[in-house]
Amino acid sequence: MEDCWLAADLDIKYSVLVAVYNSERSLRELTANLIDTLYPFSYEIILVDDASTDHSFTEILRLCTENPSLHYYRHDTNKGQSAALLTGLRHSKGEYIVTIDDDLQYDPADIKRLIAEEASTSADIVYGITNSRKGSWPRKVSSALVKRILSPIFKVPAKGSSFRLIRRTVFSLIPIAELQNSILPEALFARLDLKIAYAEVSHRERKYGRSGYSFFKLAELTLNSIRVYLRYLGKNNAR
């Protein structure tokens, strides 16, 4: 197991991971909202710039000089959201990991709902789910189609989302490297005996820019997910 770098820092309760790509206009608002939400908990916010082509990294540097609880890492080439979150995970120290997108469609204030749900259920993973997802219809249709295809293959619930709280110990149970190319880490979580819970959260219209996930990009990531999952199954069956 690759758990030697996954030891929690007892002084940090929550590590919030944000994969950043071309979101210079949303970062200040996002981090300010995160800081307001996480007070008075002990926390860290890790921003991973996935080779943005705008001024996101400059803004990240500026924000990190203003608040010592903010940390940053940068990819030289674009590797995708899952790889960026994995980079953040490798450097995180919190007892719980929270992942949230950089586009402000998920409200950072709803992290408190994830925390409350974990406190009441002792769940290993709490997903933020919504019945009113916003976005362009091609994006919503393609996302729904990908979930419909992947759910029966991986035997995972279709209600998962990228807004989630995960108990740190979950990551000590699987080879973390297997997550790097997967759009659906839940495919790997599904083989574990984990307690899953859900919290109703809001989902807002995108305030800045547009999504970088086209139908074809999602299709490519789906194929990567299937490949990674099958490789993971092969390794485990060979043991």
The three-state secondary structure class of 46 is: strand
Domain membership of residue 151 (yes or no) is no
pLDDT tens track for 141-150: 545 555 565 5
Domain membership of residue 223 (yes or no) is no
| Number of domains within the chain | 1
| Residues forming beta bridges with residue 17, ordered by sequence position | 46, 99
Q: How far apart are CA 48 and CA 52, in angstroms?
A: 10
Say if residue 33's pLDDT is above 90. yes
Q: What is the pLDDT of residue 221?
A: 58
Domain membership of residue 55 (yes or no) is yes
Q: What is the pLDDT of residue 80?
A: 82
Say if residue 174's pLDDT is above 60. yes
115: domain CATH number is 3.90.550.10
Half-sphere exposure of 27 (CA within 13 A, CB side): 27
Domain membership of residue 239 (yes or no) is no
- What is the mean pLDDT of the segment spanning 41-56? 97
Give the DSSP H/E element, type plus range, for residue 73: strand 70-74
Domain membership of residue 142 (yes or no) is no
Q: At what angle do helices 27-38 and 56-66 cross, to 10 degrees?
A: 30
Domain membership of residue 199 (yes or no) is yes
Give which of 119, 24, 34 is closest to 69, Cα–Cα: 34
Which of 171-175, 201-205, 218-222, 224-228 has the highest mean predicted lDDT (pLDDT)?
Answer: 201-205
- For residue 116, give its domain range: 14-134+159-175+185-207
Say if residue 63's pLDDT is above 80. yes
Confidence of residue 18 (pLDDT cuts 50, 70, 90): very high
Q: How far apart are CA 49 and CA 88, in angstroms?
A: 10
Q: How far apart are CA 201 and CA 109, in angstroms?
A: 9
First to last CA, the chain: 13
Query: Rg (Cα) of the chain, in Å, rounded?
Result: 17
Domain membership of residue 149 (yes or no) is no
More confident of the two residues 96 and 8: 96
Domain membership of residue 51 (yes or no) is yes
Confidence of residue 71 (pLDDT cuts 50, 70, 90): very high
